[in-house]
Structure 1
Amino acid sequence: MTDHDPENLALEERVIELFHKSVEAKMVCGEELAPALVVASQIVVNALLHEHKVLVAGNGISAANAQVLVNALANRFERERPGFAAYALATNPTAITAFASDNSFNDIYSKQIMALGQSGDVLVLFTTSGNPSNLIQAVAAAHDREMSVIAFTGRDGGNIPALLDSHDLELRAPIDSRSRIHEVHLLSTFCLCDLIDHQLFGPMEE
């Protein structure tokens, strides 16, 4: 094949189209999510200043986004600074398989939250549908522990928004494509981390 092969050109055009769709989704969601991201950052900053923890959960690719947030909080984002107490609840296979085996897969996060969560901590959820039973139970467990919940959702939000109370916050990417929702969630995570660092440590030196 050559660079000018018609099949290659068609595939290249498809790649460019996907890039454009990604940019369009982020631009549409960015204006809607900006105010909520500010509030979310303030919730996390307040928790960290009072020496509370951030617990993060998601399934599949959303679990990967959860790990990105935890890495940026516990290690670093764009600058060197002290790490924060943040934990990804999907990263302990021994605990997860034990909970799923002894009880149900629906319990894999709620059991950990009941064991680790304390009043004043924050639970951050990532979900494209808002419907996974294990995340719904996670919200209930967080409320039992008097934790705030920040839920990154997609599409119509699913069942999770109805479970949130006045101390909680939903950040919804109201688009249908699962891939685009994941991309918006990842960019939102980077924005959230930037806002947290900015409030705690001031602007970065250029």
Structure 2
Amino acid sequence: MTEHPALDAAHAHCRALEDALGRFRHDGLSRIADWGGRLAAVLGDGGRLLAAGNGGSAAQAQHLTAELVGRYRRERRAYSALALHAETSSVTAIGNDYGFDHVYARQVTAHGRPGDVLMLLSTSGRSANLIAAAVAARQAGLRVWALTGPGPNPLAEAAHEALCVDAGSSATVQETHLVAVHLLCECFDTVVSTPVARRAAATPGGAS
């Protein structure tokens, strides 16, 4: 039998992703749905989402903000969402003057307002600049949510709430984070497109 190590590696990667998504579906969907509803309330009331990450997680964070400012699937109004790492002049100036650990915290202090949401994405949950951003956000009155790799980790502990993906590689964590980003947008759009009366009826303690 001819060996195909590359194909074997691809199958192993897919199996790891399937396993991670299975755990995420069991443990994470209710949190994502909750975040989608709460984010719809914040942004619908004029609040803002700030998001950040490093490397591939930066791309995921910017993907999220683009879906909110633009659209995910349904046509709807634009909502305020900023990817902090995309502010390249600010990132390089702050990094040069204050150090890389402060590139997001200082922007959170500048742009964040009480009641806004800060979403931080990290495969390790150990990035010092994201942990510093979480601390700054909490001090400024923002709500901090984190998407991370396996917990416990320092970023999850620094956030108000975290969804920790149980996977053995950074690639699988990032792929699961992308699913989480899309599901967050799906839940957000579902809530903002639901008539207010139906939303109230579906809320515990709301109209029946």
Q: Determine if the TM-score, normalized by the shorter chain, exceeds 0.5.
A: yes
User: Compared with structure 1, are the counterparts of its residues 186 and 157 closer, same or farther at alpha carbon in structure 2 (3 Å cutoff)?
Assistant: farther
Q: Which secondary structure state, in structure 2, belongs to the residue aligned with residue 90 of structure 1?
A: helix
For 1:15 and 1:143, the matched residues in 2 are separated by 41
1:130 lines up with 2:122 in the alignment: no
Shift of 1:173: 0.6
Structure 1: unaligned runs, 5 residues or longer: none
Superposed counterparts of 1:166-185, under 5 Å: 168-185=160-177
Shift of 1:13: 3.4
1:84 lines up with 2:84 in the alignment: no
1:186 lines up with 2:196 in the alignment: no
Of the three residues 46, 50, 56, the one matched with 1:51 is 46
User: Is the Cα–Cα contact under 8 Å of residues 68 and 80 in structure 2 kept in the other structure?
Assistant: yes
Superposed counterparts of 1:56-205, under 5 Å: 56-164=51-159, 168-202=160-194
Shift of 1:6: 4.0
User: Is the Cα–Cα contact under 8 Å of residues 148 and 164 in structure 2 kept in the other structure?
Assistant: yes
Shift of 1:155: 1.3
Taking every aligned residue pair, what percent have the same amino acid on both sides? 29
Deviation track 1:36-65 (CA, whole Å, cap 9, x = no partner) reads 112211221121121000000001110010
TM-score, normalised by the number of residues in structure 1? 0.89
Aligned residues: 195
Moved over 6 A (4+): none
State the AA in 2 paired with 1:96: V
Deviation track 1:101-139 (CA, whole Å, cap 9, x = no partner) reads 111101100111111111111000001111111111101
